[in-house]
Amino acid sequence: MKALMQELRENAVKSITGADSIEALEALRVKYLGKKGELTAILKQMGKLSAEERPVMGQLANQLRAELEKNIESARARLEAAALEAKLELEAVDVTIPGEDIRLGHKHPMYKALDEIKDIFVGMGFTVLDGPEVELATYNFDKLNAEEGHPSRDWSDTFYFDTDSRVMLRSQTSPMQVRAMETMELPIRIIAPGRVYRKDEVDATHSPMFHQVEGMVIDKGVTMADLKGTLNAVMEELFGKGTVTRFRPHHFPFTEPSCEMDVQCHKCGGKGCPTCKGEGWIEVLGAGMIHPRVLEMSGIDSEEYTGWAFGMGLERLAMRRFKISDLRLIFENDVRFLEQF
Strands 281-290 and 188-197, sheet pairing: unpaired
Query: Could you say which DSSP state residue 46 is in?
Result: G
Assess 245 for contact with ligand DAH (CB under 6 A): no
Nearer to ligand DAH, 126 or 252 (CB): 252
The sign of the CA dihedral 287, 289, 293, 298 is: positive
Q: Is 244 helix (H, G, I), strand (E, B) or coil?
A: coil
DSSP state of 208: S
Q: Minimal distance in Å, beta carbon 296 to ligand DAH? A: 16
Stretch that binds ligand DAH, among 75-83, 261-269, 305-313, 330-338 (CB under 6 A): 305-313
- Using CB under 6 A as the binding rule, the residues of this chain from 309 to 328 that contact ligand DAH are 309-311
Taking the C-alpha atoms of residue 9 and residue 112, their distance in angstroms, rounded to an integer, is: 83
Shortest approach of ligand DAH to residue 204 CB, angstroms? 19
Our finding on whether 197 is near ligand DAH (CB under 6 A) is no
Least distance in angstroms from the C-beta of 102 to ligand DAH: 41
User: In the window 272-291, what residues touch ligand DAH (CB under 6 A)?
Assistant: 286-288
* 306 touches ligand DAH (CB under 6 A): no
CA-nearest of 69, 176, 95, 166 to 130 is 176
> Which of residues 32, 205, 214, 234 is near ligand DAH by CB under 6 A?
214
Q: How many amino acids of this chain bind ligand DAH (CB under 6 A)?
A: 11
- Rounded Cα gap, residues 29 and 36, in angstroms: 11
**Three-state secondary structure call for residue 199:** coil
What are the Cα distances from residue 320, in Å, to 177, 223, 271, 300?
26, 28, 16, 36
- The one-letter amino acid code at 21 reads S
Q: Which of 71, 174, 205, 306 binds ligand DAH (CB under 6 A)?
A: 174
Instruction: Work out whether 175 is an interface residue with ligand DAH (CB under 6 A).
Output: no
Q: Which residues bind ligand DAH (CB under 6 A)?
A: 172, 174, 214, 252, 255, 286-288, 309-311
